[in-house]
Amino acid sequence: MPYRVRHWWLPALCATAALCLPATAKAQSNAGCDNRVNDTPGKLVPCVTTDDLWNHMKAFQAIADANPGADGHPSRNPGEPGYKASVDYVADAMRKAGYDVTLQPYTFTYSSYVGTPSFSEVSPTPRSFSLISDWNPGSSQGDATGAQVKPAGGTVMPPAPSPSSASGCSPSDFTGFAGKIALIQRGTCTFGTKVLNATNAGAVGVVIFNEGNPGRTSVFSGSMVDADGNPFVASIPVAFTSFDIGQSLYNEYTAGTPPVMSLSIHQIVDPNRTDWNVIAESKGGDPNHVVVVDAHLDAIYGAGMLDNASGSATILDIAQQMRKVHPLNKLRFIWFGGEELGELGSEYYVSHLSASELAKIRYDLDADVTATPNYSIGVLDPAAVDLFGRTVSKQFPPQVYEPSKVARDMAVNYFSSVGKNHIFFSPVGTDAEQFQLAGVPASGLLTGQDCCKTQEEVDLFGGSLGNYEGNVPSFDGGCVDNPFRWCDNLSNNDPNVLTFMSKAFADMTVRMAYNTNVVWAGEDVHKPTGTPAAAGPRGAAAQ
């Protein structure tokens, strides 16, 4: 159902003509934008243009192209040269715009495949298996070339109606496996336990196939953890595949023609790789009342142009257009690293703030994917459903939720003013989540990625069911968050969507730069030098 609720405070937001920018507002000339202080929505929003945003996007793509990762493909992944080059690009642009810029380093466990893993059958049925559609590599290292396949003991064929296979769970399941590739059925113990048992028996590789029960038949991936839950990198190559492929190999073996296969997987794992957050502060603004404006700068599995060069370009252009602004509240623009690996950069940043420094951060605005071709217009709301699970997976306390609705409804009001619908999504999975967990109100924007856009969203925004990224109708998951596709490039972004989403985010940013009802809640507002003369006690000039 549409989320077009207007709350009681929304009419007050339109108290001045500058607040509710009409849909027909024209872009300003570069000279006009460069020569004035863009401290209201009426000034700032028209200065956010497709050309400027797309130039940043082209720069990020060029950085990825010039800095291939360990797999040989264009990359801006965490811990790789393309990410550091992205950091330097943003930091240089922000210094030139007059911001105070610092780089915050942190370490993390880096891993990457070297080249492209391969898996093939030599005989009796020569065939090559395709990554993702036929198999997925496990966290492992090594080559098994022309080795015979042998099923592990405990395999249950045909499979039982419910999961029951203990294949490979005991060392006794691996008699006579020296020099062979172990074919192991998914089942009742950890994948790592199966792999360690096979390794100790002298196997040179492992193929783990899905068990074959309802819901356990397709190609899948698994983690390498031992019986105690400790992660490790297997010393022999490990492939995960479907029940059908596993069954075909099993049948060849039982027919007396054991399959001969080759499996090659190589990885780099570095537990102490360095990454950086880029932090840029406005010269003006009260340092005891900070509004963080963030996006994550890192990619995953390649160039990461939609996720999240788009959001990074959004806040970079806004910051440049606001370079002459003297806000009431200090603006702290942050490009976080490691979001794709579990919000590493934002978690590090928030957890390393002292209690007094954290207390000065009064709000967070997050831009995470802003150029999706088959888009939704998502506004972050702590009480909403997650983008992927479509359930409320985490609840935030009232002191976080209630003020978060203020920026949320600024976005709602803006989109309504330009004739666009919206839908609410939870901040879970975005860097805004780390701020809300720390007690800081937050909102933001996103346009969706991967599979699957729902019928409700099609009704609201047009487009098609399935893949958000425009490869529709399709439920293939898209280019983002899927390894070995390397297709989240510039062509995976819509410049028109990037533009109207960035304008909306600019509208939110400049309002929060002068906001007092949340950022100065319960305090007297003392206007710093440079605050617009008509600002008044609640910063009305910024409206």
Token look-up 């022999």 returns 236
Q: Are residues 248 and 374 in the same domain?
A: no
Domain closes at, from 265, 288, 322? 265
Q: Are residues 246 and 373 in the same domain?
A: no
422 in helix, strand or coil?
coil
Residue 26: inside a domain: no
pLDDT at position 540 over 50? no
Average confidence (pLDDT) over 48-64: 98
Q: Are residues 222 and 254 in the same domain?
A: yes
pLDDT at position 24 over 50? no
Q: Are residues 369 and 518 in the same domain?
A: yes
Average pLDDT, the chain: 90
Residue type, 116: T
pLDDT at position 298 over 60? yes
Q: Are residues 443 and 351 in the same domain?
A: yes
Residue 31: inside a domain: no
Residue 23: inside a domain: no
Q: What pLDDT score was predicted for residue 451?
A: 84
Residue 253: inside a domain: yes
Average confidence (pLDDT) over 374-386: 95
Q: Are residues 146 and 87 in the same domain?
A: no
pLDDT at position 4 over 80? no
Alpha helices in 339-478 (DSSP H): 344-351, 355-360, 398-417, 432-437, 455-461
Q: List for the chain the helix, strand, coil content (%; round to 5).
A: 30, 20, 45
Residue 70: inside a domain: yes
Residue 151: inside a domain: yes
For the chain, what is the domain count?
A: 2
Token look-up 């009426």 returns 42
CA distance 500 to 495: 9
Catalytic sites, residue numbers: 339
pLDDT at position 331 over 50? yes
pLDDT at position 472 over 60? no
Closest CA to 222 of 209, 203, 212, 235: 209
Structure tokens at 342: 């579990």
Q: Are residues 89 and 124 in the same domain?
A: no
Q: Are residues 189 and 313 in the same domain?
A: no
Phi and psi of 441, rounded to 5°? -60, 150
Alpha helices in 354-489 (DSSP H): 355-360, 398-417, 432-437, 455-461
Q: Are residues 485 and 512 in the same domain?
A: yes
Structure tokens at 142: 């090594």
Domain that holds residue 159: 118-265
From residue 424, alpha-carbon distances to 334, 367, 379, 403, 428 in Å are: 23, 14, 5, 16, 12
Domain closes at, from 209, 237, 265? 265
**CATH number, position 76:** 3.40.630.10
Between 411 and 20, the higher pLDDT residue: 411
Average confidence (pLDDT) over 201-224: 96
Residue 213: inside a domain: yes
Domain closes at, from 208, 239, 265? 265
Residue 137: inside a domain: yes
pLDDT at position 498 over 60? yes
Per-residue pLDDT tens over the stretch 86-106: 999 999 999 999 999 999 999
From residue 473, alpha-carbon distances to 468, 477, 478 in Å are: 10, 11, 11
Contact 225, 192 (CB under 8 A): yes
Residue type, 237: P
- What band does 170 get if pLDDT is binned at 50, 70 and 90? very high
Q: Are residues 82 and 199 in the same domain?
A: no
Q: What pLDDT score was predicted for residue 394?
A: 85
Torsion-angle region of 486 (φ positive above 0: left; ψ -120 to 50: alpha; else: beta): left
Q: What pLDDT score was predicted for residue 20?
A: 36
CA distance 260 to 288: 68
Q: Are residues 199 and 314 in the same domain?
A: no
Closest CA to 139 of 222, 198, 199, 208: 222
Distance of alpha carbon 59 from the chain centroid: 20
Rg (CA), the chain: 26
**CATH number, position 259:** 3.50.30.30
Q: Are residues 248 and 344 in the same domain?
A: no
Q: Structure pTM?
A: 0.88
Lowest mean pLDDT among 37-51, 238-252, 400-414, 475-489: 475-489
- What band does 28 get if pLDDT is binned at 50, 70 and 90? low
- What band does 12 get if pLDDT is binned at 50, 70 and 90? very low
